[in-house]
Amino acid sequence: MIEVENLTKEYGEFRAVDNISFTVEKGEILGFLGPNGAGKTTVMRILTCFFPPTKGKAIVAGYNCFEDSLNVRKRIGYLPQRVPLYEDMKVSDYLRFVAAIKGTPTKEVNRKAAKVMDDCGLSDVSSKLISTISGGYRQRVGIAQALVNDPEVLILDEPTVGLDPKQIKEIRSLIKELSGKHTVILSTHILPEVSILCGRVIIINKGKVVAEDRPENLATESAQRMLLRINGDTEMIEQELSRVDGIQGVEREHASGDANGFIVVLEDEKQGRQGIQAMIERNRFELMEMRLLEVSLEDIFIKMVTKEEA
């Protein structure tokens, strides 16, 4: 459905996107993960025909984004990072307006706008002015305008940025419902977001693809860390921990102010756990807490970058 080949975009001397290639299959939700400035928005702007690439090509639904942009634009819905909304229009009028300018036949405009308001949970605010609705509803209006002409492809640029936790949850479940019916590319700098929503993830950094995988594989590929609280002689515990098989490194955990906190980097989780248990029993220490720490985007980056350099 989407094919991107050796895409490069330069702003003057600066290369924001550097020879990126990927494909997205029909019905897939692809996560575009990367820190601020990685080049996510730039790729999305090329896909939505906002500007052409410096080099390379992008094909959406069989049409070239540069040579056949009208046909691409008909098949794409775009939620930009900052949604430009007409503040003094009512939600329903705005969506009818967008449907009309996207070429919906006049007699279908009302039906399409009503359907998208229903799908996006906007029926309660349909007659309110856009300037008066909350951030979560604004974001829904943004998604609704992208969906109103029922496009095959949806491009969502950081759809949950700036929302509160409850709104984030609602927007995520809305996006989840879109999969299957639409092909979606979604950008984010939040790792758990891609695990929840995406079947596949592309990580970009400084304009380059540094990894591509299923989200669960990305998490397992990076080094697991475990938090331990053990009562006993701290120096001795640290030394003993560093000798356990399956453990790569040991650090004191300072954040909690508890002298008995340690963070270990695991090489082999099962072996590490068993070794720690045995070491504690042998020394008659007391285990107070043992839990895996969640893998963060930072952890994955560190792993990817060190892998590249090696």
Ligand X SMILES: Nc1ncnc2c1ncn2[C@@H]1O[C@H](COP(=O)(O)OP(=O)(O)O)[C@@H](O)[C@H]1O
Query: Residue 209: CB partners within 8 Å, gap ≥ 6?
Result: 20, 21, 22, 202, 203
Q: How far is the CB of 278 from Mg ion (least distance, A)?
A: 49
Nearer to ligand X, 51 or 251 (CB): 51
Q: How far is the CB of 36 from ligand X (least distance, A)?
A: 4
Binding mask 40-69 for ligand X (x = CB under 6 A): xxx---------------------------
Q: Report 18-37 residues binding ligand X (CB under 6 A).
A: 34, 36-37
Residue of the chain from 16, 34, 41, 172 that contacts Mg ion (CB under 5 A): 41
Picked from ligand X, Mg ion, none, the partner binding residue 13 (CB below 5 to 8 A depending on kind) is none
Picked from Mg ion, ligand X, none, the partner binding residue 106 (CB below 5 to 8 A depending on kind) is none
The Cα–Cα gap between 279 and 238 comes to 11
The burial of 257, by beta-carbon neighbours within 10 Å (0-12 exposed, 13-18 middle, 19 or more buried), is given as exposed
Nearer to ligand X, 34 or 261 (CB): 34
Q: Report 226-265 residues binding ligand X (CB under 6 A).
A: none
Under the binding rule (CB under 6 A), the answer on residue 39 touching ligand X is yes
Q: How far is the CB of 266 from Mg ion (least distance, A)?
A: 34
The Cα–Cα gap between 73 and 81 comes to 18
| Contact of 91 with 125, CB cutoff 8 Å | yes
Segment interacting with Mg ion (CB under 5 A) among 35-43, 49-57, 110-118, 230-238:
35-43
Chain CA centroid to CA 209, Å: 14
| Contact of 187 with 194, CB cutoff 8 Å | no
Nearer to Mg ion, 40 or 172 (CB): 40
Q: Are strands 63-64 and 208-213 parallel, antiparallel or unpaired?
A: unpaired
Nearer to ligand X, 51 or 242 (CB): 51
Under the binding rule (CB under 5 A), the answer on residue 160 touching Mg ion is no
Write the DSSP symbol of residue 204.
E
| Contact of 285 with 243, CB cutoff 8 Å | no
Residue of the chain from 6, 11, 220, 302 that contacts ligand X (CB under 6 A): 11
Residue of the chain from 2, 4, 16, 203 that contacts ligand X (CB under 6 A): 16
The Cα–Cα gap between 293 and 224 comes to 7
Nearer to ligand X, 208 or 229 (CB): 208
For the record, the structure tokens of 89 come out as 């229009």
Short-list 145, 171, 176, CA closest to 158? 171
The Cα–Cα gap between 275 and 288 comes to 16
| Contact of 58 with 51, CB cutoff 8 Å | no
Q: How far is the CB of 187 from ligand X (least distance, A)?
A: 7
Nearer to Mg ion, 161 or 263 (CB): 161
Query: Residue 301: CB partners within 8 Å, gap ≥ 6?
Result: 35, 203, 205, 210
Q: Report 50-89 residues binding Mg ion (CB under 5 A).
A: 81
Contact residues for Mg ion, defined by CB under 5 A? 40-41, 81
Contact residues for ligand X, defined by CB under 6 A? 11, 14, 16, 34, 36-42
